[in-house]
């Protein structure tokens, strides 16, 4: 039996060889800024997850909450998932309906349904989200969990699966890497594996990514006992996809593993261990000149004008568009907005 350390080295060498054979241009160089995707008077706009509907229109499922509550702590208590639609990936997007809200009852997701991820599995649409039962610190954010709702159509109605929609919570086993994690389990990313089953990625302890696997869509999802990324600096908001037989995670790069304020594209041969990385996207200034950012207005975050919660629209097996909010309104608007970038092949 090959020792894990040897297997890890062999996997890394294979991935490095694949990188050498590629065109050499990182994903970050291929994005072209298009403009605002979603901007709504009176609302803070955050994560925007795309999908193409049966009619050919593009649907965005967007986390939003009243702007007067500010970005933080508003998302913890008042975030809801709204549904927007456009004739084209580049917008403009228009509000359609509210897909999901907190229950307002004594459930795990009483408050703050947030950071949606929309997918189609068979004849069902699947909406993943996070929620909590108490938005107040210090109980929050340790009480964050991941839920799932399903619908026969993108216009709903959305039904939480099982008894209450819960599919993943922090592990009870003290031997697991994220037992009693200070940030719970949050920010889901989802893949239907080509060999069967479902991969649910999430962020947890020390802002590393984890993985839970299920045979059936509605679970049970069994978490692996170790993280799947080896970062010591903070990342989050993974988006998972498969391209040319390899697995990818696109995450934020909050503290400068490659470039602070940008994104990281993680690569894996099996979808379980992600080791190789390249720039996934850059801070916003790389796509817009300083002159265009002179009116940028800060609502959340540090001094870098950056994208958050990246979500990718795949077309023909390849990334086509990137949707991401920012803690800044790039053009000085009254609250945050979601932006769209186009992938140049």
pLDDT digits (tens, 9 = 90+) for 120-164: 999 999 999 999 999 999 999 999 999 999 999 999 999 999 999
**Apex CA 132: angle with CA 220 and CA 79, to 5°?**
115
pLDDT value, residue 277: 84
The answer, yes or no, to whether residue 19 has pLDDT greater than 70, is no
Confidence tier at 23 by pLDDT (50, 70, 90): low
The answer, yes or no, to whether residue 215 has pLDDT greater than 80, is yes
The answer, yes or no, to whether residue 106 has pLDDT greater than 60, is yes
pLDDT value, residue 4: 38
| Spacing of C-alpha 253 from chain mean position | 13
The CA–CA distances, whole Å, from 104 to 74, 109, 114, 212, 225 equal 15, 8, 14, 28, 33
Closest by CA position to 86, among listed 64, 107, 55, 109: 55
Cβ partners under 8 Å of residue 130, min gap 6: 112, 113, 114, 115, 144, 145, 146, 147, 186, 187, 188
The CA–CA distances, whole Å, from 141 to 137, 169, 264, 284, 305 equal 7, 12, 24, 28, 25
The SS3 assignment for 15 reads helix
The SS3 assignment for 250 reads strand
Answer yes or no: are the C-beta atoms of 32 and 342 closer than 8 Å.
Answer: yes
pLDDT value, residue 65: 98
| Positive or negative torsion for Cα 171, 211, 125, 58 | positive
Confidence tier at 179 by pLDDT (50, 70, 90): very high
Q: Over the chain, what is the mean pLDDT?
A: 93
Containing H/E element for 6?
Answer: helix 4-21
Cβ partners under 8 Å of residue 211, min gap 6: 199, 200, 201, 202, 223, 224, 228, 271, 272
User: Domains (ranges, CATH) in the chain?
Assistant: 33-343 (2.115.10.20)
The answer, yes or no, to whether residue 308 has pLDDT greater than 90, is yes
Closest by CA position to 329, among listed 118, 46, 111, 123: 46
Closest by CA position to 191, among listed 30, 314, 57, 324: 314
The answer, yes or no, to whether residue 117 has pLDDT greater than 70, is yes
Overall average pLDDT of the 64-84 stretch: 97
pLDDT value, residue 345: 85
Render 257-312 in DSSP notation, one character per residue: SSSTTEEEEEEESSSS---EEEEEE--GGGTS-GGGGTT-EESSSSSS--B-S-EE
Cβ partners under 8 Å of residue 271, min gap 6: 191, 193, 199, 211, 240, 242, 247
pLDDT value, residue 131: 98
Bin 264: left if φ > 0, else alpha if -120 < ψ < 50, else beta. beta
Overall average pLDDT of the 198-221 stretch: 98
pLDDT value, residue 275: 86
The SS3 assignment for 248 reads strand
Which tokens hold the place of 166? 């819960």
Answer yes or no: are the C-beta atoms of 264 and 282 closer than 8 Å.
Answer: no
The CA–CA distances, whole Å, from 13 to 26, 179, 257 equal 18, 32, 20
Bin 202: left if φ > 0, else alpha if -120 < ψ < 50, else beta. beta
């Amino acid at each position: 039996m090959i020792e894990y350390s040897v297997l890890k080295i062999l996997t890394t060498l294979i991935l490095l060889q694949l990188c050498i054979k590629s065109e050499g241009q990182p994903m970050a160089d291929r994005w072209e800024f298009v403009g605002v995707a979603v901007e709504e008077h009176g609302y803070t706009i955050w994560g925007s997850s795309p999908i193409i509907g049966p009619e050919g229109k593009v649907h965005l499922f967007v986390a939003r909450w009243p702007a007067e509550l500010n970005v933080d702590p508003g998302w913890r208590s008042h975030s809801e998932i709204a549904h927007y639609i456009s004739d084209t990936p580049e917008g403009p997007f228009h509000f359609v309906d509210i897909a999901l809200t907190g229950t307002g009852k004594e459930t795990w997701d009483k408050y703050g349904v947030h950071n949606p991820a929309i997918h189609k599995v068979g004849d069902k649409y699947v909406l993943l989200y996070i929620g909590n039962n108490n938005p107040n610190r210090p109980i929050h954010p340790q009480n964050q969990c991941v839920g799932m709702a399903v619908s026969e159509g993108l216009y709903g109605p959305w039904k939480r699966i099982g008894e209450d929609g819960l599919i993943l919570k922090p592990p009870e086993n003290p031997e697991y890497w994220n037992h009693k994690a200070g940030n719970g389990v949050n920010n889901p990313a989802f893949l239907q594996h080509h060999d069967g089953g479902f991969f649910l990625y999430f962020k947890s302890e020390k802002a590393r990514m984890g993985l839970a696997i299920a045979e059936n869509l509605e679970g049970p999802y069994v978490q692996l006992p170790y993280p799947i990324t080896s970062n010591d600096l903070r990342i989050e908001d993974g988006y998972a996809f498969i391209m040319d037989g390899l697995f990818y995670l696109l995450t934020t790069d909050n503290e400068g593993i490659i470039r602070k304020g940008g994104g990281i594209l993680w690569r894996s041969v099996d979808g379980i261990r992600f080791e190789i990385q390249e720039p996934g996207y850059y801070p916003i200034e790389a796509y817009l000149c300083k002159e265009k950012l002179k009116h940028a207005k800060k609502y959340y975050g540090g001094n870098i004008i950056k994208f958050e919660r990246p979500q990718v629209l795949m077309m023909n097996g390849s990334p086509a568009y990137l949707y991401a909010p920012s803690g800044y309104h790039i053009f000085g608007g009254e609250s945050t907005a979601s932006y769209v970038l186009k992938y140049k092949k």
